[in-house]
Amino acid sequence: MARQLTILHLRFHGVGFETYGEVLQTLGDITPAVQALPPDSALADITGALTYFKTTPAELADRIQTRIAARFGITVSAGGGPSRMIATIAADTVPTGQALIVPADQDAVTDFLDRQPVTALPGIGPALGAKFHRYGVHTVGALRMLPPATVQRIAGRSTGLLLAQRADGHDPRTITPAGPPASVTAKRSFDHDVLDPAEANRALLALAVELGARLRHDHQVTRQIELQITYADRTRTTRTRTLTEPTGQTTVLQETLYAMFGALRLERARIRTLTARAGGLGSAGDVYVQLTLDKSTEDARRLQPAIDKANRRFGQASVLPGSLTTCAATAPRLRR
């Protein structure tokens, strides 16, 4: 018989990039099974730690919160349960600085899940959530009561099957111990002062293509994008944006970089270098793909693997967005 797991999903409110690694090390003093979820969260399998410290999940969560608050002055929220999914949903519902532990027995799990909004289930984003609402399905409990075939008609065959399983509390994923992942950086330098917004946008698109290709090559996703602009006088402007959900898709990276650049409202700025950094990296296998119901977005998502395959087969930058082919200076440097 398999050992019953106890998982914690921890959120470190207001943690900085430099302190985040130290917080994970402190957590590692309690359990070696810690998986970083940058920029401000982590998963911890405390199954063995409960036996070692001869304590309960609630008491151990309190010990973690107290220790991190004492060392770093950081408030920690904790959700716990017998699976990653339950722990994460619990962390989503608990007030800041508190802990909610869902008992491991199936009745407790079902009671907890049934009361949650249907959008609490991983894989149900705003668009799919709205679709369920139109069918009168507002809670996980309501979804659980539907025949699996009905869920599949609403959400699609594969997604519907997964959602039906998750509504029953099924989540086979385990913790993959990993510290703070490195970032991925792409850079474009010009041999002249760039004042034309169209030229800057082509460079930003090239950066998005390169970052996306490198992330997908390594089966990673990013949760945070940083854009740095270096001017002719060597001064710099840096902006950082945390994404609503992790991604490795070029279109999302492109839209984010465009929005960050546009928000600066640069006028007559003489740009010499654009640098984009994808931080808060995580495994693409840990990410649930949200159904958007936006045909162009879904088409781009489906085409991306084919584009990546073509570039691997026929050479770097063989298949690119059309606007890049008109500007050789910004052709992305893709890694094989």
**How confident is the model at residue 285, as a pLDDT?**
76
- Each residue's pLDDT tens digit, 153-162: 999 999 999 9
Specify the higher pLDDT residue, 60 or 188: 60
Q: Which DSSP helix (H) or strand (E) runs through 206?
A: helix 197-217
Check whether residue 22 and residue 117 sit in a common domain.
Answer: yes
Q: What is the CATH number for 60?
A: 3.30.70.270
- Residue range 70-91: average pLDDT? 97
* In a domain? residue 158: yes
| pTM given for the model | 0.62
| Tokens coding 21 | 């690694």
In 3D space, the residue among 55, 292, 42 whose CA is nearest the CA of residue 175 turns out to be 42
- Residue 61, φ and ψ in degrees, nearest 5: -60, -40
What angle do helix axes 148-155 and 157-167 make, rounded to 10 degrees? Answer: 130
Do 78 and 190 lie in a common domain? no
Show which of 126, 141, 167 is a domain's final residue. Answer: 167
316 vs 260: CA distance, rounded Å: 27
44 and 103 part of one domain: yes
Q: What is the pLDDT of residue 265?
A: 87
* 100 SS3 class: strand
Question: Which residue range(s) make up the domain with 280?
Answer: 184-330
| 281 and 219 fall within a common domain | yes
List the one residue out of 231, 223, 243 whose CA is nearest residue 200. 231
Which range (75-84, 111-120, 241-250, 287-296) has the least confidence?
Answer: 287-296
**Distinct helix (H) and strand (E) counts, the chain:** 12, 10
323 pLDDT above the threshold of 70: no
Residue 97 lies in a domain: yes
Cα–Cα nearest to 209, from 226, 190, 242, 186: 186
38 and 159 together in one domain: yes
pLDDT reading at 47 higher than 70: yes
Residue after which a domain boundary falls, among 167, 196, 211: 167
135 and 62, same domain (yes or no): yes
Q: Which residues pair with 35 in a beta bridge?
A: 43, 178
Residue 178: per-residue pLDDT? 76
What is the pLDDT confidence band of residue 292, given thresholds at 50, 70 and 90? low
Q: What is the pLDDT of residue 320?
A: 64
Q: Please, are residues 90 and 77 in contact by the beta-carbon 8 Å criterion?
A: no
Q: Are 258 and 160 members of one domain?
A: no
User: Are both 163 and 191 inside the same structural domain?
Assistant: no
Determine, yes or no, domain membership for 178.
no
On the question of pLDDT at 4 being above 60, the answer is yes
Q: What is the mean pLDDT of residues 18-46?
A: 90
Nearest to 227 by CA among 249, 250, 244, 203: 203
pLDDT higher at 233 or 227: 227
How far is residue 330's CA from residue 272's CA, in Å, rounded to a whole number? 13
Report pLDDT for 335: 38
**Alpha carbon distance 310, 324 (integer Å):** 17
Do residue 191 and residue 217 come from a single domain? Answer: yes
Higher per-residue confidence, 113 vs 189: 113
CATH code at position 255: 3.30.1490.100
Contact 229, 191 (CB under 8 A): no
Confidence of residue 88 (pLDDT cuts 50, 70, 90): very high
Integer distance in angstroms from the first to the last C-alpha of the chain? Answer: 45
Q: How confident is the model at residue 306 (pLDDT cuts 50, 70, 90)?
A: confident
How far apart, in Å, are the Cα atoms of 228 and each of 147, 205, 215, 329?
A: 51, 14, 19, 19
Domain boundary among 167, 194, 218: 167
| Spacing of C-alpha 89 from chain mean position | 15
Query: Which of 15-29, 109-123, 153-167, 313-327 has the weakest average pLDDT?
Result: 313-327
How many structural domains compose the chain?
Answer: 2
Residue 291: pLDDT band with limits 50, 70, 90: low
Reported as a single tens digit per residue, the pLDDT across 118-147 is: 999 988 888 899 999 999 999 999 999 999
Do 158 and 19 belong to one domain? yes
Q: Based on the domain organization, do 44 and 163 belong to the same domain?
A: yes
